[in-house]
Structure 1
Amino acid sequence: MDKLHFSPETPFGIALYPYFEKVYEAVVGKPASSFSFTPGVTPLSTVNEVVASCITYFVVIFGGRYLMTQFPPFRLQALFQLHNFLLTIVSGILLVLMVEQIFPKIYHHGFLYAVCSNDAWTQPLELLYYLNYLVKYWELIDTVFLVAKKKKLEFLHYYHHSLTMVLCFSQLGGKTAVSWVPITLNLTVHVLMYYYYFRTAAGHKIWWKKYLTTMQITQFIIDLFVIYFCTYTYFAYTYWPHLPNMGSCAGTEASALFGCALLSSYLFLFINFYRLTYQKSKAILKQRAQEAKSSAPVKKSKKI
């Protein structure tokens, strides 16, 4: 086995992408270097396919919820554990492969280059972005489990799951260099989130569920700070050069504006979810404690 050698090109001590290329070629039958996201050629690369997928998703979950009124909830514990375990592993693999690709760019050229330069959109990253996009289809099964278990379907859940898939598609088509920022942060959260669901499905009590939502909110704040900056500097440079700017930024205008709008909505929805879920629970516990205190029998003092 090769000795560990840490450098900007190998931040984990060894070059991981060559191993990924071997696995990719063994599975797909083509070298990883031959991949190119081509609308109409690459699977799930057209607007019609994405729209059809979204419609199918909503038909399945809402139709399934209606059908499940006739049946008791399914447990599906083993399948649910396997689903979450595999998503934990796959998310972790994609995360480290992306970090390996991005870190040298930041180290050698700086953060601005990594989020704005046309050269920062490379063929290996495009392939990893595409695989991450495909994982978003896999993650739709999360909702199918909720339906089968007869759990409540929150608007935030199916809104976030379906439109994150659309977001990944739009950024692939738009070739936005900043894509790695929301993707790597999302993968980091998902490694922890799917690990959490894997453990709790086995009956373990995990104390940090609340902090997952906090991490998601923090993720969107960072996302918005970076993509708002990239969008602003692009539009200022292109249309209002008299305004202070850092030059142009790679990506189409439509993909940039859609990303800003969608991630902004995520931030507000997750903050609202946090407020309703945790602050409400805290208020209920406080009220119960007060009720218990007021209903406790009063000890009579002894007369002397």
Structure 2
Amino acid sequence: MADLFNLKNVEVGMPTLERPFGIKLWDGFSKFWTAIFGYAPENFRFTVGETYMSTLQETIIALVAYYIIVFGGRELMRNRKPFVLNGPFMVHNFYLTVISGLLLLLFIEQLLPTLVNRGVFHAICSYNGGWTKPLVTLYYMNYLTKYLELIDTIFLVLKKKPLTFLHTYHHGATALLCYTQLIGHTAVSWVPIVLNLCVHVVMYWYYFQSARGIRIWWKKYITIMQITQFIVDLGFVYFASYTYFTSTYFPWMPNAGRCAGEEFAAIAGVVILSSYLLLFISFYFATYKKDVKTGRPRRNTGRDALIAMAGQQLPGADGTTASIDDKRNSGAVTTGRSGPTTRSRKA
């Protein structure tokens, strides 16, 4: 394991197009991967039925288990006191911040030369642009992190926080979305993934700091980042899907040519990402829009626009409703102890 920290074979120097951060991150990632799996990441192949979590059956079983655990756990917690899990919650958000940041840097290192030398269309529509062997390895690593992110909801259940449709639907659908794009070989996959990683670095860092008791005023802008992310995502995905279907079935219509990927993956991407955009816009207006008539801020719950999976906030152990006082101006939530924490509303 000591060899993992040996940078002898890692390329280091002034930043270049192929080495934008001054150090060849892929070299370090390759050493780590090889030490864990016994072969270089360049030799990784996502093979349905052989690779871990590569079949639809495995994915469905994992997601069904997730929902059983979440809603079954909610019922088990109904007459119990909420757990205080600040320490584990900080650790969870910290390692997701680090993982998201490292994956983001690796994606940038792989994509920057392609974007500069071959252009955006090649990067999103060519197998040689957006579906290279290193990128497929990173797509798979990003896919696996979606199962780590399901732990977000476990914390909500144990802390007896409300479970909204937005939260529970988004977490499950994202794992399914990443799976469909992996088996569908969509070269445009890197666009939503890179943007999502940017948001997750900020978001998980926010939740890490909030768990430490640090009051942060810019929670609202995380939701704005999420909405912007989906708008940009859909611009690329709609374009890639449009030019694929028109060039394939309606060649007389204006198009830019074929785009790499399977049709079912394109449809899944369009449907799921579109639903995200609608849900997050609804959440934003329900949460942050002020009442024009009275000038008073609305409660930061989003209940008017989002369907709560839990129906309402879980009752407390004593039969009363657990007290949550949303602080509108700061985006923080004050619970029974001193110092602000936040309600998890992750994407």
Same-fold call, TM cutoff 0.5? yes
Q: Distance in 2 between matches of 1:253 and 1:56?
A: 28
Matched, 1:220 2:230: yes
Matches within 5 A, 1:80-91: 80-91=89-100
Alpha-carbon offset, residue 40 of structure 1 = 0.4
Partner of 2:155: 145
Q: What letter corresponds to residue 96 of structure 2 in structure 1?
A: L
Contact 2:166–2:279 (CA<8 Å) still a contact in 1? yes
Please name the residue that 2:327 is paired with.
none
Give, as a single letter, the amino acid of the residue that structure 1 aligns with 2:219.
K
Aligned partner letter, 1:221: I
1:250 aligns with 2:256: no
Q: What does 1:181-260 align with in structure 2 at a 5 Å threshold?
A: 181-260=191-270
Rounded Cα–Cα distance in structure 2 between residues aligned with 1:212 and 1:197: 11
C-alpha distance in 2 between matches for 1:98 and 1:210: 27
Paired amino acid for 2:72: G
Cα drift, residue 70 of structure 1:
2.5
2:135 is equivalent to residue 135 of structure 1: no
> Is 2:105 aligned against 1:96?
yes
1:60 partnered with 2:69: yes
Q: Give the equivalent residue in structure 1 for 2:31.
A: 22
CA deviation string 1:124-169 (max 9, x = no partner)? 1101000000000000000000000000001000100000000000
- Rounded to whole Å, the distance in 2 between the matches of 1:52 and 1:24 is 27
Match of 2:181 among 144, 164, 171: 171
1:4: Cα distance to partner? 3.1
Structure 2 unaligned residues grouped into runs of 5+: 1-9, 299-347
Question: For 1:2-39, what per-residue CA distance to the aligned partner results, in whole angstroms no more than 9, with x for missing partners?
Answer: 75322221121221101100011112222212210000
Residues 1:263 and 2:273 are matched in the alignment:
yes
| Gap runs ≥5 in structure 1 | 289-304
Root-mean-square deviation over aligned CA pairs: 1.6
22 and 275 in structure 1: CA distance in 2 versus 1, 3 angstrom threshold: same
Pairwise CA distance, 1:283: 7.3
Instruction: Measure the CA separation in 1 of the matches of 2:88 and 2:269.
Output: 33
Find the residue that maps to 1:69 and give its secondary structure: coil
| TM-score, scaled relative to structure 1 | 0.92
Residue 286 of structure 1 corresponds to 296
Residue 126 (structure 1) aligned with residue 141 (structure 2): no
CA distance in 1 between counterparts of 2:163 and 2:32 reads: 37
* TM-score (ref. length: structure 2): 0.81
Q: Whole-Å Cα distance in 2 between the matches of residues 17 and 78 of structure 1?
A: 32
Code of the aligned partner of 1:274: Y
Given candidates 9, 22, 25, the residue that maps to 2:18 is 9
Deviation of 1:187 after TM superposition, in Å, equals: 0.3
Answer whether contact 2:290 2:296 (CA < 8 A) is retained. no
Q: In 2, distance between residues paired with 1:194 and 1:279?
A: 24
Residue 285 of structure 2 is matched in structure 1 by 275
Amino acid at match of 1:79: P
Amino acid at match of 1:175: H
Bigger radius of gyration among the two: 1
1:212: how far off?
0.3
Q: How many residues align?
A: 288
In structure 2, the CA distance between the partners of 1:182 and 1:282, relative to structure 1 (3 Å rule), is: farther
Q: Is the 8 A contact 2:11 2:24 kept in 1?
A: no
Amino acid at match of 1:25: T
CA distance in 2, matches of 1:272, 1:205: 25
Report the residue type matching 1:227 in the other structure.
Answer: V
2:102 partner SS: helix
